[in-house]
Amino acid sequence: MSAQVSYNDFVIKFANVNGSGSASANGMFAKALFRMGIPVATRNIFPSNIQGLPTWFEVRVSERGYLGRREGVDVMVAMNAETYEEDVASVVPGGYLFYDNSKPLARELVRNDIVEVGIPISEMLLPEFQDPKQRQLFKNITYLGALSALLNLDFDVLKSMIGEQYKGKDALIKPNIHALEIGRNYAMEYLDCPLRVQVRPSDAVGDRIMINGNSAAALGCIYGGATVCAWYPITPSTSLVEAFERYANQLRLDENGRRKFAVVQAEDELAAIGMVIGAAWNGARSFTATSGPGLSLMSEFLGLAYFAEIPAVLFDVQRAGPSTGMPTRTQQSDLLSAAYASHGDTKQVLLIPATPKECFEFAAAALDLADRLQTPVIVLSDLELGMDDSLSEPFVWDDERRYDRGKVYTAEDLDELESYGRYRDIDGDGIGYRTYPGTHPTKGSFFTRGTSRDENAKYTESPDAYIANMRRLERKWQTAAGLVPVPEISRSEPARAYGIIYYGTTEHPMREALDRLAEDGIHLDTMRIRAFPFSQAVFEFVTEHELVFVVEQNRDGQMETLLVSEGRLDSAQLIGVRYFGGLSISADIIAREIRDYFVENKLARISEVTS
Amino acid sequence: MSFISKPVVHHPQLGHNDLGLTRRDYEGPISTLCAGCGHDSVSAAIVQACAELSIPPHRFAKVSGIGCSSKTPSYFLGNSHGLNSVHGRMPSVTTGANLANRSLHCIGISGDGDTASIGLGQFAHIVRRRVNMLYIVDNNGTYGLTKGQFSATNDKGSTNKKGLPNLHEPIDLVSMALQIGATFVARSFSGDKRQLVPLIRAGLLHEGFAFIDVVSPCVAFNNHAGSTKSYEYVRGHRDDVVMADFVPTHEEITADYAPGEREDVLMPDGSTLRLRKLEETYDPRDRTKALNYVHDKTLQGEVVTGLLYIDPDASDCHAMLNTVAEPLNSLGEAELCPGSEALDAINASFR
DSSP-assigned letters across all residues of A372-419 = HHTSEEEEEEEHHHHHS-EEEPPP---TT------SB--HHHHHH-S-
Q: Tell whether A456 lies on the interface with B, counting CB pairs under 8 A.
A: no
B2, part of any domain = no
Q: Which residues of A touch B75 (CB under 8 A)?
A: none
Sequential pLDDT tens for chain B (351 residues): 344 556 556 666 678 999 999 999 999 999 999 888 889 999 999 999 999 999 999 999 999 999 999 999 999 999 999 999 999 999 999 999 999 999 999 999 999 999 999 999 999 999 999 999 999 999 988 888 888 888 899 888 888 878 889 899 999 999 999 999 999 999 998 888 888 999 999 999 999 999 999 988 887 777 777 777 777 777 777 777 766 655 444 333 232 333 334 445 444 445 444 434 346 567 889 999 999 988 988 888 778 888 999 998 999 999 999 999 999 999 999 999 999 999 999 999 999
Q: For residue A268, which residues of chain B lie inside 8 Å, CB to CB?
A: 121
A259 inside 8 A of chain B by CB: yes
The answer to whether the beta carbons of residues B108 and B70 sit under 8 Å apart is no
> Does residue B164 belong to any structural domain of this protein?
yes
Q: Do A209 and B61 touch (CB under 8 A)?
A: no
Total domains present in chain B:
1
Q: Using N-to-C axis directions, what is the helix angle for A356-373 and A463-483, rounded to 10°?
A: 150
Write down the number of H helices and E strands in chain A. Answer: 20, 23
CB–CB contact B99 A437 (8 Å): no
> Cβ separation of B92 and A271 shorter than 8 Å?
yes
> Quick one: average pLDDT of A461-479?
98
Q: How many residues does chain A have?
A: 611
Helical packing angle, A356-373 and A213-223, nearest 10°: 40
Size of interface A-B (CB pairs under 8 A): 223
Is B16 a domain residue?
A: no
CB of A447 within 8 Å of a chain B CB? The answer is yes
Asked if the structure places residue B58 within a domain, the reply is: yes
Dump pLDDT digits (tens) for A551-562. 999 999 999 999
Of the candidates A257, A324, A252, which has an alpha carbon nearest to the alpha carbon of residue A293? Answer: A324
Say if A227 is an interface residue toward chain B (CB within 8 Å): yes
Answer yes or no: is B297 within a domain: yes
> Does residue B182 lie within any of the structural domains?
yes
Say which CATH number the domain at B128 has.
3.40.50.970
Q: Is the pTM higher than 0.90?
A: yes
Distance to chain B for A192, nearest Cα, Å: 32
Query: CA A281, CA B89: separation in Å to the nearest integer?
Result: 15
User: In A, residues 407-436, which contact B (CB 8 Å cutoff)?
Assistant: 435-436
How many C-beta atoms lie closer than 10 Å to residue A188's C-beta?
15
Task: State how far the alpha carbon of A345 is from the alpha carbons of A277, A301, A307, A448, A450, in Å.
Answer: 20, 14, 9, 19, 13
Q: Which residues of B touch A211 (CB under 8 A)?
A: 350
Cα–Cα distance, A200 to B259 (Å, whole number): 91
Hey, of A445, A451, A460, which one would you mutate to test binding to chain B, going by the most B CBs within 10 A of its CB? A445
Q: Which residues 6+ apart lie within 8 Å of A357 measured at CB?
A: A216, A392, A393, A394, A395
B278 in a structural domain: yes
- Nearest neighbour of B350 by CB, restricted to A211, A268, A396: A211
* ipTM value for the complex: 0.96
Residue A562 contacts residue A335 (beta carbons within 8 Å): yes
Cα–Cα dist B174/B135, whole Å: 12
Ordered DSSP codes for B253-311: --TTS----EEEEE-TTS-EEEEEESSTT--TT-HHHHHHHHHHHHHTT-EEEEEEEE-
Helix, strand, coil share (%) of chain A residues, nearest 5: 40, 20, 40
pLDDT band at A257 (very low <50, low <70, confident <90, very high): very high
CB A386: neighbour CB atoms within 10 A?
31
Closest Cα of chain B to A401: distance in Å? 9
Q: Which domains does chain A have, with CATH numbers?
A: 6-198 (3.40.920.10), 210-392 (3.40.50.970), 412-469 (no CATH), 488-610 (3.40.50.920)
Name the nearest CA neighbour of B86 among A304, A269, A453: A304
Mutate to test the interface with B, among A167, A269, A447, A458 (most CBs of B within 10 A): A447
Write the CA distances from A380 to A259, A277, A435, B294, integer angstroms. 28, 19, 29, 50
What's the burial of A50, exposed, middle or buried (CB within 10 Å: 0-12/13-18/19+)? exposed
Does the beta-carbon distance from A258 to B322 stay under 8 Å? Answer: yes
Say yes or no: A72 contacts chain B, CB-CB below 8 A: no
Between β-strands B303-310 and B238-247, what pairing exists: parallel, antiparallel or unpaired? parallel
Q: Which of A322, A72, A317, A89 is nearest to A218 (CA)?
A: A317
Give the range of the structural domain holding residue B239, as residue numbers without chain letter.
23-347
Q: Is residue B3 part of a domain?
A: no
The C-alpha atoms of residue A305 and residue A270 are separated, in whole angstroms, by: 13
- Cross-chain Cβ contact A445/B103 below 8 Å: no
Split at pLDDT 50, 70, 90, the class of A507 is very high
Q: What stretches of A192-317 show up as alpha helix (H) in DSSP?
A: 213-223, 238-251, 269-281, 292-308
Query: CA angle, corner A203, sides to A200 and A207, nearest 5?
Result: 135
- Over the Cα atoms of chain A, what is R_g? 27
Three-state DSSP string of B80-129:
CEEEECCCCCHHHHHHHHHHHCCCCEEEEEEEHHHHHHCCHHHHHHHHHH
Q: Out of A227, A254, A274, whose CB is closest to B93? A: A274
Closest CA to B152 of B175, B168, B135, B174: B168
